[in-house]
Amino acid sequence: MEWTGARYADKPTVEVSIRIDAPPERVWEVVCDIETMPRMSPELWSVEWLDGRTGPCLGARFVGHNRHEAFGEWSTTSHLVEYEPPRVFAWAVEDIERPSAVWRFTLTPQEGGGTLLRQWMQLGPGRSGLSYAIDRMPVKEQSIVFVRMREFETNIGSTLTAIKELAEGGPDLPSVLPDGTFGKASE
């Protein structure tokens, strides 16, 4: 990610893509299994559906529990705002009208087979934990936003790599290891 000078109010975005040698329907199964996602994410450590749900549908809600070395632990409630099997899976964090973030997976079938999987995220416009860091150091806002967006880009890349391994039929589900690399859950 290159320096953009973006501020939080600019609603900065990042997108990472990966080609997966599996049909969209298989990739979709992995992407929509939010309870498996913590095993593939450097920050997300637990997630569960709310309101008695056991799977995704438009409007469904889930809570995610996160950990970050600098920010500590926190939980957020997300709302599925786009659900178009097997193409788009997106959620808004906290407030649907003014989310603290929006996340989206987009799956595109590829000529000759396989799937192009893109994960996109937008920070803001609603306040998030990052807002408190900016409140404490407003003169460093652009740097704070840049560092966090670069971190999101790296983490998304790690998540997509894990999704690829699983969708392509790896023998075990990969897990993010403490150093941010991937290994098998049994390691």
Instruction: Quickly tell me which residue has 């790599």 as its tokens.
Output: 161
CA distance 130 to 127: 8
Q: In this predicted structure, what is the pLDDT of residue 90?
A: 98
- pLDDT cut 90: percent of the chain above it: 73
The interaxial angle of helices 141-167 and 24-31, nearest 10 deg, is 120
- Which pTM does this prediction carry? 0.87
Please say whether the dihedral angle defined by the alpha carbons of residues 146, 13, 35 and 117, taken in this order, is positive or negative: negative
- Residue whose token pair is 């529990």: 65
Q: How confident is the model at residue 178 (pLDDT cuts 50, 70, 90)?
A: very low
* pLDDT value of position 95: 95
Tens digits of residue pLDDT in 129-169: 889 889 999 999 999 999 999 999 999 999 999 999 999 98
Q: Provide mean pLDDT across the span 31-55.
A: 91
Residue 175's pLDDT is 47
pLDDT at residue 80 greater than cutoff 50: yes
Q: Does the pLDDT value for residue 32 go beyond 90?
A: yes
pLDDT for the residue 30: 94
Closest CA to 46 of 68, 71, 69, 66: 66
What pLDDT is attached to residue 177?
Answer: 44
What pLDDT shows up at residue 176? Answer: 45
Residue 42: what pLDDT?
A: 84
Our CA angle for 14, 179, 135, nearest 5°, is 50
